[in-house]
Amino acid sequence: MTALVTGFGRFGKVERNPSALIVSDLDGARIGGHDVAGRVLPVSADATPRAVRAALDETDPTLVLLLGVAPGRAALAAERVAVNVFDFDEPDNDGALPVDVPIEVDGPAAYFATLPLRAIIEAWHEAGIPGYLSDTAGTYLCNAALYTALHATADEPLPVGFIHLPSLPDEVAGNRPPEPSMPLETQIDGVRIALEATVAALVV
Amino acid sequence: MTALVTGFGRFGKVERNPSALIVSDLDGARIGGHDVAGRVLPVSADATPRAVRAALDETDPTLVLLLGVAPGRAALAAERVAVNVFDFDEPDNDGALPVDVPIEVDGPAAYFATLPLRAIIEAWHEAGIPGYLSDTAGTYLCNAALYTALHATADEPLPVGFIHLPSLPDEVAGNRPPEPSMPLETQIDGVRIALEATVAALVV
Amino acid sequence: MTALVTGFGRFGKVERNPSALIVSDLDGARIGGHDVAGRVLPVSADATPRAVRAALDETDPTLVLLLGVAPGRAALAAERVAVNVFDFDEPDNDGALPVDVPIEVDGPAAYFATLPLRAIIEAWHEAGIPGYLSDTAGTYLCNAALYTALHATADEPLPVGFIHLPSLPDEVAGNRPPEPSMPLETQIDGVRIALEATVAALVV
Amino acid sequence: MTALVTGFGRFGKVERNPSALIVSDLDGARIGGHDVAGRVLPVSADATPRAVRAALDETDPTLVLLLGVAPGRAALAAERVAVNVFDFDEPDNDGALPVDVPIEVDGPAAYFATLPLRAIIEAWHEAGIPGYLSDTAGTYLCNAALYTALHATADEPLPVGFIHLPSLPDEVAGNRPPEPSMPLETQIDGVRIALEATVAALVV
């Protein structure tokens, strides 16, 4: 059984994207009886959806956990929903800046994530890791990756979800006003815990 | 040579106060050629100033670094100034709730901290630890401790300052909306770095 | 032609709900060739959806603009999407506190609002009124009202949307920390402008 | 009897500074038995203090209320204290960017404002205008104006204070994320109320 775990690389002002570092750390690991297959996705309205579908095809996962950074957020955020829209505040890595463009022209307005979000959040709190249920994954590539994965697997009983990560401490160390952050080690623990809580909920 | 390092214990909603935990961790350590003398201060308009003066008398320090927690802050905050007022939003541990009461009846309106704040902040950034210069230490016991220490040592060439600490992650793990936090290990590193940067500036 | 405009009354800490006051102000007015039919909805997981459907039936509108207050928001917020979930942080006026309960058991995950959101926001900015496109209407009764209205009219070419309003100034005048607000007159102007911009977009 | 009321003009991203508009509105008015003398100060580390002293000399006031805008603040802020430092995040209108430079080389660390702050805030709340007691006026020209006025009048029994104002709505209408604002009319009311509350406290 394979857990597909994806992240993103550099974009905008984000130089060290914790999602790519976590993917690099967990790729090849065995967590909750699953082999982790890590992928770093492009930051591109054009290429992200295609890369998500390719990763699903290549890894044939039984569990999908997508990751991305959300500068300014203070805790791990388990996303509840993905909406069918690209609406960018800043250009992607290709320079594209779509406004109110559907991700899937004939797709539904939204999908709910199919991870056991409450179990994940409870497991974070038991471990002392700040985390919460978020009602918007934004309208950038993070949301698009989640929407695409849920759309591509809509007919399969596959747990699929997205966790937004705080910035790394060294990325924001000199920022004024100060911004929240979370160390990479805590983030890795949080992702491991999310994978384990998902597997535990599957078994039950 | 002695570095007096103080913290506070429980108060209000703060159960695990990182400042007391750091004092416990560093008490007896040797940092930058100084022996750390740790003290945990009472959270009390009546007793805090007296405890600060007693700690100064007992330890005869060559460097004073006071610590306290500031829930909601996202980074280490080196305080620039302490003002001569008690003005509480919540009662202290004795149930006192002073409004616009001077700490020292005949004291000046404020003192500037005498730590090398810029050197401390630069050292934090080099170490990848989020930190900033804060222009208000509030009007609760943290400010009162700093004001008292600066007032008591106003005629001495002694570096005295205050660092406000974020909440510990496990203290805010379940809070909604999510609140920023910083692990104890990072906070301890930050305090060590502040002590070392202060000593380095003294030598120069 | 009828424009159905709805609001909510008291709930939780909100005593003077600007949405009910705007409904009271605009009920019976003629705006953009439409007669405004105002309705104040109950704050209730049980009753809100029913009241929305009843209002649609009774008024047979050609345009639907739902209003609600969102304490803490700094500007008018034109909502992009409504999701199929009740998930309350505080009880409704019946004392109900549903968690992750669908609004419509067999409904889709979400609907996009069908108002001309960009035209509305542009019209606000031309008038100097702060407003923005919001990506989450929350998971309380505001979202539920919008979801219900969009679900009930899904097969009709009817513009339906929701605007979240800031608190009234007098509701937050003494709050610490200070909270954003907007005067009722500005809010009424903003709602009128939204109705006019919607009608203008319809005609084109 | 003269009430000196000062504001500032354009600087940085602030095009329409509400403090200058209020000064323009109130100049020559009679409020609480005082004739208002309005002055717009330069935004300049070099010239602001000089202009404050000149305004005091020219108008020989019995009451001094300084005004300035603080983008991002949600309510009127009666400042408690002014500190003896220039420390700019953005250049002034002369291009100067001082860091940790004293305003008055031999001046004390700080002065407390001598307005009846509690009476002002209570009067705002009775009028339904959001306002609060602020513990930092920053380290830009607003703080410098207050420090200079308090330093120049330190030996006189003269009420001197500073109110920070939110942005005007049209200044932030298109900003993302949305920012708090307050209409000019409400701000003018708030300043009038502050003057009247100060005069009432003087008489008592």
Q: Cα–chain-centroid distance for residue B103?
A: 17
Predicted pLDDT of residue B204: 63
- Residues of chain C with Cβ-Cβ distance to A144 below 8 Å are none
Say whether pLDDT at B110 is over 90. yes
Predicted pLDDT of residue C80: 98
Catalytic residue among A34, A79, A151, A171: A79
> In the annotation, is C142 catalytic?
yes
The domain of A130 spans 2-203
Cβ–Cβ pairs < 8 A, chains A and B: 76
Residue-level length of chain D: 204
CA distance B57 to B48: 14
User: Could you tell me which of D161, D145, D133, D113 has the C-alpha nearest to residue D48?
Assistant: D145
Across chain B, mean pLDDT equals 97
Count of domains in chain D?
A: 1
Contact partners for chain D, using 3 or more CB pairs closer than 8 A, are B, C
Question: Considering CB atoms only, which of C84, C110, C133 is closest to A83?
Answer: C110
CA distance B100 to C9: 38
ipTM for this prediction: 0.96
Whether A62 and A56 have beta carbons less than 8 Å apart is answered as no
At residue A137, φ and ψ (nearest 5 deg) are -95, 15
Stated pTM of the model: 0.97
Question: Considering CB atoms only, which of B80, B109, B133 is closest to D108?
Answer: B109
Question: Whole-angstrom distance between the N-terminal and C-terminal Cα of chain A?
Answer: 17
Percent of all residues in chain A with a pLDDT value above 90, rounded to a whole number: 98
CA distance C63 to B79: 55
- What are D18's two structure tokens? 């509400």
Predicted pLDDT of residue A12: 96
Q: Read off the DSSP letter of residue B167.
A: B
**Is the minimum CB–CB distance between D189 and chain C shorter than 8 Å?**
no
pLDDT digits (tens, 9 = 90+) for A139-175: 999 999 999 999 999 999 899 999 999 999 999 999 9
Q: What is the CATH number of the domain that holds C134?
A: 3.40.630.20
Using pLDDT thresholds of 50, 70 and 90, give the confidence band for residue A204: low
- Residues of chain A with Cβ-Cβ distance to C133 below 8 Å are 87
Task: Please give the helix or strand (H or E) that residue A53 lies within, else none.
Answer: helix A48-59
CA distance B42 to B15: 14
Say whether pLDDT at B202 is over 90. no
Find all residues with CB under 8 Å of C183, minimum gap 6, and list them.
C168, C169, D183, D186
Say whether pLDDT at A179 is over 90. yes
Q: Is the CB of C85 less than 8 angstroms away from the CB of A80?
A: yes
Predicted pLDDT of residue B203: 74
Burial track A75-95 (b if 16+ CB lie within 10 A, e otherwise): bbbbbbbbbbbbbbeeebbee
Q: Is the CB of A178 less than 8 angstroms away from the CB of B132?
A: yes
Q: Is the CB of B112 less than 8 angstroms away from the CB of D108?
A: no
Using DSSP's 3-state secondary structure scheme, residue A39 falls into strand
User: Could you tell me which of B55, B59, B41, B53 has the C-alpha nearest to residue B142?
Assistant: B41
Q: Is the CB of D178 less than 8 angstroms away from the CB of C129?
A: no
Identify the segments of chain D with pLDDT beneath 50.
none
Q: Tell me which residues of B are annotated as active site.
A: 79, 142, 164
Q: Is the CB of B179 less than 8 angstroms away from the CB of A74?
A: yes
pLDDT digits (tens, 9 = 90+) for A60-109: 999 999 999 999 999 999 999 999 999 999 999 999 999 999 999 999 99
Looking at this protein, which amino acid is placed at residue B59? T
Predicted pLDDT of residue C203: 74
The lowest-confidence range among A195-204, B108-117, B132-141, C76-85 is A195-204
**Is the minimum CB–CB distance between C139 and chain A shorter than 8 Å?**
yes
Q: Cα–chain-centroid distance for residue A73?
A: 14
CA distance D180 to A153: 42
Q: Is the CB of A130 less than 8 angstroms away from the CB of B77?
A: no
Contact partners for chain B, using 3 or more CB pairs closer than 8 A, are A, D
Identify the segments of chain C with pLDDT beneath 70.
204
Looking at this protein, which amino acid is placed at residue A47? A
Q: Is the CB of C169 less than 8 angstroms away from the CB of D130?
A: yes
Radius of gyration, alpha carbons of chain B: 16
Give D58-101 as a 3 state SS string. Answer: HHCCCEEEEEEECCCCCCEEEECEEECCECCCCCCCCCCCCCCE
Q: Tell me which residues of D are annotated as active site.
A: 79, 142, 164
Rounded to 10 degrees, the C-alpha dihedral C39/C43/C47/C51 comes to 10
Using pLDDT thresholds of 50, 70 and 90, give the confidence band for residue A203: confident
- Residues of chain D with Cβ-Cβ distance to C170 below 8 Å are 128
CA distance A11 to B74: 23
Predicted pLDDT of residue C204: 63
Predicted pLDDT of residue A202: 85
